[in-house]
């Protein structure tokens, strides 16, 4: 071959490489096909070579998982299973609403946050309180009632692959009883009103009947579907009866209840779901009201600690300081005492679990949002994390409904330098973590700033 022919061949190869990169990058976006986030839609372009993964259909054969300044990483998509994810020894997570999980820009920003910090877990909305499923589910009842009309995560298996490649452990959040979509399409599955028709809460929302086996089976089917895509953990939320004023609740009728109590119904639902999903090799977990850690009776929603804690693998009390009533644990303004409230609530949880054979492990939902004074920032978020550790709970997940988190409250991935120490709010002051016991007038191990 002549020198001129060699030069021509090199030019053709260079042009081909540029063409391939242009098709993959599309204005700096991750090339996970045509994903959508509200008004944001990925640019149309050539369809990448793909293969079928799980239940979602075609998945791109390559995906760029870093910023545009780094080389493109070509990854071959493979079918995932729950065994492809190892649960971290210490879960340090955040919640991703469906829009954030489905947006290439937001998704990449949150993955970058995990790369830079101690985070290692994402809780992803599969079905939220709107009743819509985030992905294109093939569960027959979901399609029949229109629960797939508002898709937000266009390619769920590809997102699972991204999390796996970035060392992020995924958890599938599925809301159960607050589901206006299913309740409207199948009013026979909803709580009924003694005056006729379906029962409505104070916001005019219909709720599913927790006694209904068909309601149980629908959600187990959704969980089974995403487990077979690769999710290793199913997290039930709104696994309860509605909380509403007494005059409204007095009109609620629950077909099929018989003599079974509310707490027995929730216990049975959780036990049934765990047993049904056992062949899938997934953990089954449940979000519960924060007050369940300390109250010795059901507050009317069917959640009593001793009744549910041995029916799941992990229990997640939502110990948000802003959600505690005035006077809780003798604090006039619980929201102003994030360390004290979370530590006390979780100590109660640990003590009660210690008396129950087979009790689930505890993972705390913590507050990274502002609801009342003071405004929550670095000291308030870090105070809750430290409170969990001091209560003997090593796992935590931050909640922010918009999936926007306080990065400075998180430890950097490489750890803190020896001369640096986080600050926290305790006793009405913002102080270094090592001073927390001093401020409260306690004796304690002040060096314990992370789980051992």
Q: For the residues of 286-337, what is the DSSP string, one character each?
A: EEEEGGGGT-SS--SSS--HHHHTTSSSEEEEE--GGGSPTTGGG-S-GGG-
Q: Which phi and psi (to 5°) does residue 75 adopt?
A: -125, 130
> Do the Cβ atoms of 395 and 91 come closer than 8 Å?
yes
Cis omega (within 30 of 0) on the bond before 198? no
Q: Is residue 350 part of a domain?
A: yes
Q: Let me know if 326 is exposed, middle or buried by CB neighbors in 10 A (0-12, 13-18, 19+).
A: exposed
- Number of independent structural domains in the chain: 1
Asked whether residue 165 is domain-assigned, the answer is yes
CATH code of 168's domain: 3.20.20.80
Higher pLDDT, 56 or 384: 384
Any domain includes 48: no
* Residue 79 pLDDT class (50, 70, 90 cuts): confident
Per-residue model confidence (pLDDT) at position 179: 98
Percent of the chain with pLDDT over 70: 81
HSE-CB of 71 using CA atoms within 13 angstroms: 4
**Least confident window among 7-16, 78-87, 275-284, 426-435:** 7-16
pLDDT at 251: 97
**167 lies in a domain?**
yes
What separation, in Å, do the N-terminal and C-terminal C-alpha atoms of the chain show?
A: 66
Tens digit of each residue's pLDDT (9 = 90 or more) over 182-227 = 999 999 999 999 999 999 999 999 999 999 999 999 999 999 999 9
Q: What is the pLDDT of residue 358?
A: 98
Residue 149: band (very low, low, confident or very high) from pLDDT cuts 50, 70, 90? very high
Give CA–CA dist 12/26, Å, rounded. Answer: 22
Evaluate whether residue 134 is within a structural domain. yes
Band of pLDDT at residue 32, cut at 50, 70 and 90: very low
Of the listed ranges 59-63, 225-229, 327-331, the least confidently predicted one is 59-63
Q: Average pLDDT of the chain? A: 85
Per-residue pLDDT at 34? 24
Question: CA-to-CA distance for 275 and 279, rounded, in angstroms?
Answer: 8
- The residue range of the domain holding 360 is 81-409
pLDDT at 443: 79
422 lies in a domain? no
pLDDT tens, position by position, 430-448: 999 999 999 999 976 544 4
Could you say which DSSP state residue 278 is in? G
Does residue 229 lie within any of the structural domains?
Answer: yes
Q: Over the stretch 254-310, which tens digit does the pLDDT of each residue have?
A: 999 999 999 999 999 999 999 999 999 999 999 999 999 999 999 999 999 999 999
Structural domain contains residue 52: no
């Amino acid at each position: 071959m002549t020198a001129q022919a060699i030069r021509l061949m090199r030019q053709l190869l260079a042009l081909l490489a540029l063409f391939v990169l242009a098709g993959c990058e599309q204005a700096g976006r991750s090339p996970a096909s045509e994903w959508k986030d509200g008004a944001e839609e990925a640019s149309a372009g050539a369809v990448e070579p793909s293969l079928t993964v799980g239940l979602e259909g075609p998945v791109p054969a390559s995906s760029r998982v870093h910023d545009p300044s780094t080389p493109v990483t070509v990854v071959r998509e493979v079918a995932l299973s729950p065994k492809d994810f190892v649960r971290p020894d210490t879960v340090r997570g955040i919640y991703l609403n469906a829009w954030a999980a489905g947006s290439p820009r937001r998704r990449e920003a949150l993955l970058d946050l995990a790369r830079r910090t101690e985070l290692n877990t994402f809780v992803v909305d599969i079905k939220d309180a709107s009743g819509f499923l985030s992905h294109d589910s093939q569960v027959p009842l979901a399609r029949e009632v229109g629960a797939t009309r508002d898709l937000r995560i266009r390619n769920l298996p590809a997102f699972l692959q991204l999390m796996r490649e970035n060392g992020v452990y995924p958890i599938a959040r599925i809301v159960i009883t607050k589901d206006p979509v299913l309740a409207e399409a199948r009013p026979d599955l909803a709580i009924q009103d003694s005056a006729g028709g379906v029962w409505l809460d104070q916001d005019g929302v219909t709720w599913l009947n927790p006694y209904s086996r068909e309601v149980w089976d629908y959600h187990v089917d959704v969980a089974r579907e995403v487990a077979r895509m690769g999710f290793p953990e199913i997290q039930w939320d709104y696994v309860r009866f509605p909380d509403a004023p007494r005059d409204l609740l007095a009109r609620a009728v629950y077909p099929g209840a018989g003599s079974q109590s509310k707490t027995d119904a929730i216990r049975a639902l959780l036990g049934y779901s765990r047993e049904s999903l056992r062949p899938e090799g997934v953990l089954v977990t449940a979000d519960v009201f924060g007050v369940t850690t300390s109250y010795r009776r059901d507050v009317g929603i069917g959640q009593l600690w001793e009744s549910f804690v041995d029916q799941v693998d992990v229990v997640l009390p939502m110990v948000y300081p802003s959600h505690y009533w005035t006077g809780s644990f003798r604090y006039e303004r619980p929201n102003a005492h994030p360390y004290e409230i979370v530590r006390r609530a979780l100590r109660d949880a640990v003590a009660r679990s210690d008396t129950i054979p087979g009790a689930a492990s505890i993972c705390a939902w913590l507050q990274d949002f502002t609801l009342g004074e003071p405004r929550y920032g670095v000291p308030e978020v870090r105070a809750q994390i430290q409170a969990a550790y001091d209560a003997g709970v090593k796992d935590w997940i931050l909640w922010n409904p918009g999936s926007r988190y306080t990065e400075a409250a998180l430890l950097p991935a490489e750890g803190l330098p020896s001369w640096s120490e986080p600050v926290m709010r305790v006793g009405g002051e913002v102080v270094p973590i090592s001073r927390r016991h001093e401020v409260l007038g306690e004796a304690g191990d002040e060096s314990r700033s992370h789980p051992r």
